Structure 1
Amino acid sequence: MSSIHWPVALVCILAGVHSSWAWSNTHPSPDQALILQQERERALQEQVLPAAPDVRLPRQADVLVDYPASEAPCFAIHELRMVGELAERFRWALAAADAVGRCLGAQGVNLAMKRVQNALIAQGYVTTRVLVTPQDLKPGVLTLTLIPGRIQSIRFAEPASWRARWSNALPARPGDVLNLRDIEQALENFKRVPTADADIQIEPAGADGKSDLVIAWKETLPIRLSLSLDDGGSEATGRYQGSATLSLDNLLTVNDLFYYSQGKDLFQHDPLGSKSRSLHYSLPLGYWQLGLTLNDYRYHQTIAGANEKYLYRGDSENSQLNLSRVVFRSQAHKTTLSLRAYQRKSRNFVEDTEIRLQHRQTAGWELGLNQRSYLGDATLDAGLNWRRGTAMLGALPAPEEETGSGGSRPSVVAADLSYNQPLKIGAQKLRINSQWRGQWSKGALVPQDRFVIGGRYTVRGFDGDLSLSSERGWLWRNELSWAMGPSGQELYLGLDLGRVSGAASALLIGRQLAGGAVGMRGSLFKRLSYDMFTAWPIQKPAGFQTGAASGFSLNIQL
């Protein structure tokens, strides 16, 4: 202890004690910088890695009428059978015929065959055929013959680029039964790369039931450089934040994505401020997707001592490995299962003296289930995740474990729901977007694992320097937007509500926030995108201090 000044040591001790339960209800804590950065990293991924367009190829089924009321001659059908190659695999389609117990003539038999055919088409088997061969119906048995439609070859349309690869994008192989769901997945894997586009045509191959898949693939310059500026940082570490992001699309020619981003505060006087770096790589493997994301963040701010201010520094590193698989998809639904492994490290210093009580190193895994459903023009997304901390990768006990106010092995259940509905009133195009997000944990959580509300990324109307956080909570964000003609600009109104609960909420000055927002966003000259808004609190606890909640973000593609 003799190597450091006693005032600095006292600040270190107090900082460590405060971190274990609460800093203040009315002043930002050092943990707030890390929490805000987590939200910024999530927003960066959404910006740099736009969601791949959902591909839903149109059905080609016939529109069928009901069975005729009476036919002459007709035969009473007591059993429906399917024969042919792979008949056992597709026997489920017979239920669509609804022919058992009916008296069918030539028209009815043809209709039963078409109903089974439509059932196959509805499941994506558009080249598999069902036939009725000559047979005696007097015994009451109708037999349908199945001819599976297979893929004979897969090739790129000429001229084909040497950078085009289909092997990891398309789940099917030559010889497999052709299914539209496999083609839809392949198109999504191709189109996930922002600078690439693709189309797949099904061409007859001559042989009975065989088809060729011909892929038309093209790309523009696979290098993207973007610069961004926003005022979403904190007052303590830099309100204005800038970043530069280099994206290399299809880097290894396997429809992969790579980006490196570096950010820092702007207009802040040294040594105060913040710096961040992010690296991401992901690639598709048919219905699977594998991704790796690395982040590090460093910030400097001042904290007040008894007689002077001290320089406070925080360093953090986050890494995560993601593996996901589309386990079901149809014309109207898509279900994805995901597994994520993560590691987080953070260290804090006062005047270059480490605060041991704030040294954290945690690791764990997260299991997720996501469902997307198309309800006419509307889209409904639902997600359920379970996150569990473990002792792997050198995880350390949390300082809060001594007081029972948190731990390094949390068990957290999170859920989210999103509804997007386009509307048209006359010539006016509107859109409703509603998002709900919640978290539940039985045990106490450290600050970085708690549910947070208050700020542009959660409940708008608050500057984000202060927030409410606890083990459990939910928030509900709502927007009504109006497209301003073909200009690419839209006006929007927002209304948000959030609430926290749990053991940590007993130390808060309140548990609920509500805010409103009005803004405008869009793109100009195809390269500049922006979002400008002003927001205001509607409900907040007495004594909950917040500054102006207006804000902006700019992004330019070079």
Structure 2
Amino acid sequence: MRLGRFIHRRGQCRVALCVLALAVTPAMAQPASMVDGSQQELRQRERERALRSQQEAAPNVRLQRPVQAGDERLPEHESPCFRIDRILLEGDAAERFQWAVKAANPANDRATGRCLGSEGISLTMKRVQNAIVARGYVTTRVLAPSQDLTQGTLTLAVIPGRVRRIRFSEGRGRRGTKWNAVPARPGDILNVRDIEQALENFQRVPTVDADIQITPAEGPDAKPGDSDLVIKWKQDFPFRITLSADDAGSKYTGKCQGSVTLSYDNWWTLNDLFYVNLNHDLGRGYGDGKGTRGYTVHYEVPYDYWLLGFTISGYNYRQSVAGGNWTYVFSGSSENSELRLSRLFYRDAVRKASAYVAAWSRNSRNYIDDTEIEVQRRRMAGWAVGLAHREFIGAATLDADVAYRRGTGMLSARAAPEEAFGEGTSRSAVITAQGQLNIPIAVSKQRFRYLVAWRAQWNRTSLVPQDRFQIGGRYTVRGFDGETTLLGERGWLVRNELGWTFGNTGQELYLGVDYSQVRGPSTQELVGTHLAGAVIGLRGAYKRLYWDAFAGRPISKPDGFQTASTTAGFNISWTY
């Protein structure tokens, strides 16, 4: 009995000494064989980011290409002609289209202040009509009624195209719902932007195929300019399952990772999206002293130009570390949640912009054997606001967004231990920005693609390690194995990729070069602040199978930064 108590007390002392060592040892100075809880959390956050970008990819519907400004000029010498000094737009809802009159007077060929005949008046009317159509009012018409032009005033009449009825076509499924998907209502002036948004709301659910046709209104109650919107809607089997595997994990907790994602599309017949993702290391089992496991649950539902989404996720890891005559089990857990409300506030034929507000929370704990490392416990919560923009530049697509994230004392958030030293706070303030430019290139019947993506972070307060900018690995700077990373309060990265799609095989060979830097007070403890790497890979798809295999190596790194000289990896998934 005494011997047992002696061993138990010695075990308590060992754990206490390890906890004390972790409390005073910076993350980057820990032994290579020791897992850093913050690094594990950041790694899992990158995996979740990749999962969400795949599962929550929003469709882009463009029914109308930009209306090109015509190069027609007003005739110089028409006969007969009338001097026009003023142009008026009248008719039902004419006050909503007064801005279109400006199109009649381009700077180099103004319609007012000159003599116009029948051809000049027709061209002036056409300019106003094109301006209205360019903003999406494709069924609104502009006419020139009979009038006396001797007074110098040209009056144009607008006939607004209105929505008379919105209905599903015959044969649509029972699960189709339009009230929260179509922004237009009967009696509204028809705008193709509302139809594009409706199709995006329908097609946000991957198993749904939808189309909307504009048909002339018929019947005794039909008025000039009235149209019906007829929705063709079809949904396949609403359940989807995706199995995936990759080697993006850490060698200390399980290099190979597997996951299963179950999706239920249009669950509540609200054009809603729901999925559950479960991930696990593909090793000997989580309870064997080494491994990872986690989950992500997401639900979102649209309403007109609004989108409400909720996400919760959790993650656990374990690692056994031999130390002398004893083996320690390091473990940790984290839980995250976010409630986000976004609204698309502008769209036209070539761009769209949205804003969002979110509330978030994050909790994490780390242990040695069964003893919690109190100085690494986190309970944070706060809010975030952001803007997102998409621009179509010819065949290229530009995406950009910026966000401000703030920690508060909500949801019983606790102060960070680093606050006593000014090295971090749970009331963090961070500005983030990211974007990408995707340019398709055709050269002699060969299809190429150039993609440049960037990401940056600026801190307004000191940050705990979980809030810092991390680089090194397949999700940031490729060519590095990700076992060792650089963290800083501020940082930026640029990823360049050139892809070549050969034939109709669905295969793309790509080359990538990435560069990144970190800055901030904590970087003074690092061996360096920059990384550059290169990668070559092959990605493709066949039916329901998708794969990506690559190999890379560092181009530039600080002296003393430990990483493999060559890194290879894969990602494979199957969806049914």
- TM-score, structure 1 length as denominator? 0.96
Question: What CA deviation, in whole Å up to 9, does each residue of 1:256-287 have, x standing for no partner?
Answer: 11001111101245121010011000111111
Cα distance 1:17–1:76, how it changes in 2: closer, same or farther (>3 A)? Answer: same
Q: Which amino acid aligns with 2:265?
A: D
Deviation at 1:549, TM superposition (A): 1.7
Give the 3 Å change call, closer, same or farther, for CA 291–465 of structure 1 in structure 2: same
Q: Distance in 2 between matches of 1:56 and 1:494?
A: 34
Q: Which position in structure 2 is the counterpart of 1:407?
A: 425
Could you tell me which residue of structure 2 aligns to residue 544 of structure 1?
561
1:110 corresponds to: 122
Counterpart for residue 281 of structure 1 = 299
Shift of residue 47 of structure 1?
2.3
**One-letter code aligned to 1:234:** S
The verdict on how the C-alpha distance between 1:372 and 1:62 changes in structure 2, with shifts beyond 3 A counting, is: closer
By how many angstroms is 1:60 displaced?
7.6
Match of 1:10 among 10, 14, 17: 17
Tell me if structure 1 keeps the 8 A contact 2:440–2:447.
Answer: yes
Q: What is the deviation of 1:518?
A: 0.2
- Alignment partner, residue 176 of structure 2: 164
Conservation of the 8 A alpha-carbon contact between 2:391 and 2:398: yes
1:466 aligns to 2:462 (yes or no): no
Please point out which of 352, 357, 382 is paired with 1:339.
357
In 1, Cα distance between the equivalents of 2:400 and 2:192? Answer: 24
The superposition leaves residues 123-151 of structure 1 with CA deviations (integer Å, 9 ceiling, x where unpaired) of: 00011111111111111111111111110
Q: Which runs of 5+ in 1 are unaligned?
A: none
Give the whole-Å Cα distance in 2 for the aligned partners of 1:553 and 1:422.
24
Q: Mark the runs of 5 or more structure 2 residues left unpaired by the alignment.
A: 1-7, 106-110
Deviation at 1:192, TM superposition (A): 1.3
Say if 2:358 and 2:384, in contact at 8 Å, map to a contact too. yes
Alignment correspondent of 2:259:
243
Report the more deviating stretch, 545-554 or 449-458: 545-554
Q: Is the 8 A contact 1:83 1:144 kept in 2?
A: yes
Give yes or no for contact 1:230–1:552 (8 Å, CA) kept in 2. yes
Q: Which residue of 2 aligns with 1:184?
A: 196
Determine whether 1:96 maps to 2:103: yes
Shift of 1:2: 6.9
How much does 1:100 deviate? 1.6
Residues 464-503 of structure 1 mapped to structure 2, 5 A cutoff: 464-503=482-521
Q: 1:459 to 1:5 in 2, by over 3 A?
A: same
Distance 2:425 2:359 in 1: 18
Offset from partner CA, 1:361-412 (integer Å, 9 cap, x none): 0011111111111111111111111111111111111111111111001111
Say if 1:508 and 1:59 are closer, same or farther in 2 by CA, change over 3 A. closer
Kept in 2, the 8 Å contact 1:55–1:188? The answer is no
**Correspondence for 1:530:** 547
> How many residues align structurally?
556
TM-score of the superposed pair, with normalisation by structure 2: 0.94
**What amino acid sits opposite 1:81 in the alignment?**
L
Say yes or no: does 1:143 pair with 2:161. no
Cα distance, 1:167 vs. partner? Answer: 1.1
Deviation of 1:3 after TM superposition, in Å, equals: 11
Q: Evaluate the alpha carbon distance shift between residue 400 and residue 305 of structure 1 in structure 2; reply closer, same or farther with a 3 A threshold.
A: farther
Find the residue that maps to 2:149 and give its secondary structure.
coil
Give the 5 Å matches for 1:210-289: 210-268=226-284, 270-289=288-307
* Shift in CA distance, 163/210, structure 1 to aligned 2, threshold 3 Å: same
2:151 paired with 1:133: no
Aligned residue identity for 2:561: F
Q: How far apart are residue 308 of structure 1 and its match?
A: 2.9
Equivalent of residue 68 in structure 1, options 59, 70, 75: 75
The equivalent residue for 2:4 is none
Q: Cα gap change, 1:338/1:3 in structure 2, threshold over 3 Å: closer, same or farther? A: farther
CA distance in 2: counterparts of 1:234 and 1:475, whole angstroms: 22
> In 2, Cα distance between the equivalents of 1:60 and 1:419?
23
Shift of 1:531: 0.4
Structure 1 window deviating more from structure 2 (303-312 vs 438-447): it is 303-312
Counterpart-to-counterpart distance in 2, 1:450 and 1:248: 35
Q: How far 1:30 moved relative to its partner?
A: 2.4
Is the 8 Å Cα contact of residues 125 and 180 (structure 1) preserved in structure 2?
A: yes
Question: Counterpart in 1 of 2:5?
Answer: none
Per the alignment, residue 320 of structure 2 pairs with: 302
Q: Secondary structure at the match of 1:393?
A: helix
State the Cα deviation string for residues 317-338 of structure 1 (Å, max 9, x = none).
Answer: 0000111111110101111111
Structure 1 residues 98-131: Cα deviation after superposition (integer angstroms, max 9, x where no partner): 1221211111111111111100000000111111
Query: Is 1:386 the counterpart of 2:398 in the alignment?
Result: no
Q: CA RMSD in A?
A: 1.8
Seen in structure 2, the aligned counterparts of structure 1 residues 503 and 306 have a Cα distance that, compared at 3 Å, is farther
Aligned to 2:449: 431
- In the alignment, is residue 199 of structure 1 matched against residue 208 of structure 2? no
Q: Post-superposition shift, 1:510?
A: 0.5
Separation (CA, whole Å) in 1 of partners of 2:559 and 2:63: 50
1:94 partner SS: helix
Q: Provide the secondary structure at the position in 1 that maps to 2:96.
A: coil
In structure 1, the residue corresponding to 2:349 is in which secondary structure? coil
- Aligned-partner residue type, residue 540 of structure 1: K
Task: Return 161-170 or 8-17, whichever deviates more.
Answer: 8-17
**Which stretch shifts more, 198-207 or 430-439?**
198-207
The letter for the 1-side match of 2:320 is T
Between 359-368 and 299-308, report the one with greater CA deviation: 299-308
Shift of 1:415: 1.1
Query: Partner amino acid for 2:384?
Result: E
Aligned to 1:521: 539
Q: Deviations over 1:215-235 (max 9, x none)?
A: 111111111011110000011
For residues 290-342 of structure 1, what are the alpha-carbon distances to aligned partners after superposition, in whole Å with 9 as ceiling and x for unaligned? 11111000101134656533111101000001111111101011111111211
* Alpha-carbon contact 1:383-1:417 (below 8 Å) kept: yes
Native 8 Å contact 2:265 2:273 kept in 1? yes
CA distance in 2, matches of 1:272, 1:191: 41
- 3-state DSSP of counterpart to 2:419: helix
1:322 aligns with 2:340: yes
Shift of 1:444: 1.7
Tell me the distance in 1 between the aligned counterparts of 2:210 and 2:10. 65
1:455 has 2:473 as partner: yes
Cα deviation code 1:138-183 (max 9, x no counterpart): 1111111111111000001111211111111111111111000000
Q: Distance in 1 between matches of 2:505 and 2:182?
A: 36
Amino acid aligned to 1:459:
V
Query: How far, CA to CA, are the matches of 2:237 and 2:526 in structure 1?
Result: 52
Q: Distance in 2 between matches of 1:268 and 1:344?
A: 29
CA displacement 1:60-82 (0-9 Å, x = unmatched): 88957221112111111111111
Residues 295, 319 of structure 1: 8 Å contact kept: yes
The 1-side partners of 2:454 and 2:36 are apart by 27
Q: Distance in 1 between matches of 2:61 and 2:463?
A: 37
How many angstroms apart in 1 are the aligned matches of 2:432 and 2:114? 51
Deviation at 1:416, TM superposition (A): 1.3
CA gap of 1:373–1:166, structure 2 versus 1, over 3 A, is: same
1:225 corresponds to which letter in structure 2? Answer: I
**Equivalent position SS for 1:90:** helix
State the alpha-carbon separation in 2 of the partners of residues 459 and 61 from structure 1. 41
C-alpha contact 1:438 1:475 (8 A) present in aligned 2: yes
Q: Distance in 1 between matches of 2:31 and 2:555?
A: 19
1:203 offset after TM fit, Å?
0.5
Aligned sequence identity (%): 49
Does the 8 Å contact 2:428/2:460 carry over to 1?
no
